[in-house]
Structure 1
Amino acid sequence: MAQPSADLPPAMAEIKSQSVDQVLQDMNRLPLFMTTLDETDGEGGENIQLEALRALAYEGTRAEVAENFRQQGNDCARAKQWTDAKEFYNKAIAALKAPSQTPPENDKRIVEEVDEEQEARKEKQIEEACYVNRALCNLEKKNYRSCIHDCASTLRLNPDNIKAFYRSGLACLALDKIAEATDACTRGLTLDPSNASLKTLTTKITSRKNHIDSVGKVRREREQKVASEKATLNLALRSRGILSKSTDAAPDLEDAVVKLENAMDPSSTLSFPLILLYPLQSQSDFVKAFAETESLGQHLEYIFPLPWDKEREYSVANVECYMETKVGGLIKAGKKMALSKILGSGKTEVIDGLIKVNVVPKSKAAGWIEEFKKRKSG
């Protein structure tokens, strides 16, 4: 025969009457079992136990409160929890900057007399430690500028802090601030000439400086070469009387450019990108490198016949070539004349590094010219 069960204690009886979800929810309200930061206790209430723990964190002198946060920050830093560690250091620094708490006159607790100078020294030491450790957090999180600022704050409190010089040097190196990184290491080694970390960092800085100098030298040489080639090309154009200009609507010609056969010899042969336009059929052909010694006829010889010219209107003998002048008119370009002579007349100009030539059948040239003039005058 089953024995009658004894009555449960009131607290156990209350739990027995609750669902599993309700029990877990209540346990989550206890700081020991918390899985989420629950600030309330029911509808519009407060979590008394949690608030009590928070209040304890801010009890004591500024140095005691700050030291508590600093120690928690150190624990997180040892676990490489850099974001949490940084937050604790923030709280410690904020606590040090907060106004001192004066106990009320009716407080019956015994208040120990505090040596103000000794307390100030403690606060300064804690603040220095928090700044230099927060610098480490920022360094690990790649917040290099913030790291440098924290190191500067550390050194304002203690100009002999080796860690601040080292971490500042690392952050400056990461930003390629070579001069600043070198200065940080030099100052640190002045204080501690045998510091292995600073010596290793100095070697890294020197290596990086050499690399940057090498890259910079190559870049400068390349820029100087480009500038010299450009000056030589301009000299070549001027000496031949060839006019040129650039606009804001330059076409993308990729690697087709005006160039000299020998980039550093202005007397060597010039070549130009040239486009043959067939305005009556809205067609075109592109010549990537048209030498100044060549004539239009030489290129038309291999371009004709044109695949779209069903009427066979286009042949070297049956077409005329026209180029627009710098004042907006037209000149006839001789098919047997070297390109340099056409361009050197001073009537045409090379625009955006490209020469344009209109090709029309002789039988239709007069009509096209008339139409061209009407468009220009309109």
Structure 2
Amino acid sequence: MARLEELPAKVERQAPSSASTSSKPTRVPDGSHNPHLSSVASANAGEQEDHTAGPDPAQRDLKSHMQGFDEMPLFMRQVKGDEQGEDENTALEALKSLAFDGEPDEIAQNFKSQGTDYFKGKRFREAAGFFTQALDANPTDPSLREACLGNRAACNLELENYGAVLRDTSAVLSLNPRNSKAFYRASRALLQLDRTTEAVDCCDHALALGVESEKAGLNALREKIVKRDESRKRRENEKKERGRREKLDKEALLKGFLARGLWIETSSRPPDNPHPAHFDLEAQPSSSLPLVTSNGEANTAYQPADFIRTPIIFPVFLLYPAEERSDFISDYQEDVPLGEYLDRMFPPGGEALPWDSSGEYRTDNLRVYASTKARRLFKIGRGRSLREMIDLTAREEDAQKKMKRDGMILRDGMISLVVLPAGEKESKWVAKFKRERDQSTGGD
């Protein structure tokens, strides 16, 4: 038997119409919804319901029963053209038309009964189609219409058509505001749509109706929704606090760049940089604070780094212009001496790199240069840190001396340093740099 989890989902049968005791011919629907029902208002919190009808038949083989329907002309789900002649198809259509002979309530009851059987057989799409055809018959009995709407909502809940569930449960509640199953099914649909506040409200409405047999299922559902809601709020608070911290850190980092005298530039098509500059988290105590407190609220105790005292970790390019090559250091800590990085990349006594055929690139034979926005050139000693390089090259604007502000360039969030072997290659590159600078600027 198909069930609706916590609450039973038996399909309710309406009593046969007094006008006739014989069942009317019926047809298998295509599962589509009645277009006349598209104007039904969308369900909101506290406005959904449904039910499915009928006592369980005693020891019936539902699968065999359903297959039997499929083989009958009035109930078959498809007719192959090459198996039926024109006369047979005409006769079949005539038989199907009989399904709508009779009073609206009688027709609706017949379709509803078939929908009930298909629902029990877990053929929810076909069942929903039968309930739609029952509604298409425009029954005059409000309780019959209420049952068909509720039953179709039960089918769509199984089919995960949650919007349709809300529309039908809303229609049910407009007919019967005390239909607890409509609230229950609406609550389940709202939960799946992550509309937890409305889902709790529907549960509370159902519980207020005081149906004793449904309390356990409703309470279990409500508890599940509350947990989901708490989890949702926690995620939202984490996201909000993460955004707040990122904004504070970004502002502090920009202040740190400017306070160090860096010249910030962004190219028209910056390269991907998976390792942007950031403060050293080990020197920032508040970075370990969780995003939310134990009760799920945003942890606003976080404070951004001291942009002057907290070290910055930069991505740095080491350029080898004499060889037309480069290396990338993703996490250059600004307080570490330059010599330590050179020793790691060109270890003393180590083998020469494949592209260093002359063996010139040795840690004790390398010279490092930094240039500024104004094309001033500085040779950097091994013992100096990146922070000291930046401070050394920075220059404040001095109107009296007619000097503009200057400093090392942070282009697209990265710093570049030039590395050359001592000797002829160094001399040629420095001479070329100065010559090009003087030609473009007229000298420094």
TM range (shorter): 0.7 to 0.9
Which residue in 2 is equivalent to 1:53?
95
CA shift for structure 1 position 167: 0.4
Q: What does residue range 18-29 of structure 1 map to in structure 2 within 5 Å?
A: none
Which residue in 2 is equivalent to 1:205?
225
Give the letter for the 2:313 counterpart: S
Would you say the 8 A contact 1:41–1:47 is kept in 2?
A: no
Which residue in 2 is equivalent to 1:279?
321
Give the letter for the 1:300 counterpart: L
Which residue in 1 is equivalent to 2:429?
365
In structure 1, C-alpha distance between the alignment counterparts of 2:158 and 2:233, rounded to whole Å: 27
1:340 pairs with 377, 384, 387, which one?
387
Give the letter for the 1:180 counterpart: E
Structure 2, unaligned stretches of length 5 or more? 1-69, 285-304, 395-405
Give the letter for the 2:99 counterpart: A
Which residue in 2 is equivalent to 1:239?
259
Task: Report the secondary structure of 1:287's partner residue.
Answer: strand
Structure in which a larger fraction of residues adopt helix: 1
The root-mean-square deviation of aligned C-alpha atoms, in Å, is 3.6
Which residue in 2 is equivalent to 1:87?
129
TM-score after normalising by structure 2: 0.63
Which residue in 2 is equivalent to 1:309?
356
Task: Report the secondary structure of 1:309's partner residue.
Answer: coil
In structure 2, C-alpha distance between the alignment counterparts of 1:372 and 1:146, rounded to whole Å: 73
Would you say the 8 A contact 2:180–2:206 is kept in 1?
A: yes
Change (3 A) 1:94 1:242: same
Give the letter for the 1:51 counterpart: E
Task: Report the secondary structure of 2:137's partner residue.
Answer: helix
Which residue in 1 is equivalent to 2:163?
145
Would you say the 8 A contact 1:321–1:359 is kept in 2?
A: yes
Change (3 A) 1:326 1:125: farther
Would you say the 8 A contact 2:263–2:408 is kept in 1?
A: yes
User: Greater shift after overlay, 292-301 or 150-159?
Assistant: 292-301
Give the letter for the 1:171 counterpart: A
In structure 2, C-alpha distance between the alignment counterparts of 1:330 and 1:138, rounded to whole Å: 73
User: Greater shift after overlay, 307-316 or 66-75?
Assistant: 307-316
Task: Report the secondary structure of 1:185's partner residue.
Answer: helix
Would you say the 8 A contact 1:29–1:47 is kept in 2?
A: no
User: Greater shift after overlay, 215-224 or 80-89?
Assistant: 215-224
Task: Report the secondary structure of 1:357's partner residue.
Answer: strand
Which residue in 1 is equivalent to 2:202?
184
Which residue in 2 is equivalent to 1:115?
none
How many residues get paired? 325
Which residue in 1 is equivalent to 2:105?
63
Change (3 A) 1:330 1:315: farther
User: Greater shift after overlay, 209-218 or 126-135?
Assistant: 209-218
Q: Structure 1 residue 77 and structure 2 residue 115: aligned?
A: no
CA shift for structure 1 position 246: 4.9
Give the letter for the 2:427 counterpart: S
Deviation string, structure 1 residues 236-295 (Cα, Å, up to 9, x no partner): 333323343555644445456432352334313333221111123122223333332345
Would you say the 8 A contact 2:74–2:92 is kept in 1?
A: no
Would you say the 8 A contact 1:30–1:49 is kept in 2?
A: no
Give the letter for the 2:167 counterpart: H
In structure 2, C-alpha distance between the alignment counterparts of 1:41 and 1:291, rounded to whole Å: 80
In structure 2, C-alpha distance between the alignment counterparts of 1:248 and 1:376, rounded to whole Å: 22
Would you say the 8 A contact 1:319–1:362 is kept in 2?
A: no
CA shift for structure 1 position 131: 1.5
In structure 1, C-alpha distance between the alignment counterparts of 2:440 and 2:104, rounded to whole Å: 84
Change (3 A) 1:29 1:48: farther
In structure 1, C-alpha distance between the alignment counterparts of 2:175 and 2:75, rounded to whole Å: 41
TM-score after normalising by structure 1: 0.72
Say which one has the larger Rg.
Answer: 1
Which residue in 2 is equivalent to 1:331?
377
Would you say the 8 A contact 1:165–1:187 is kept in 2?
A: yes
Give the letter for the 2:411 counterpart: I
CA shift for structure 1 position 335: 3.1
Structure 1, unaligned stretches of length 5 or more? 1-27, 97-118
Would you say the 8 A contact 2:279–2:310 is kept in 1?
A: no
Change (3 A) 1:48 1:314: closer
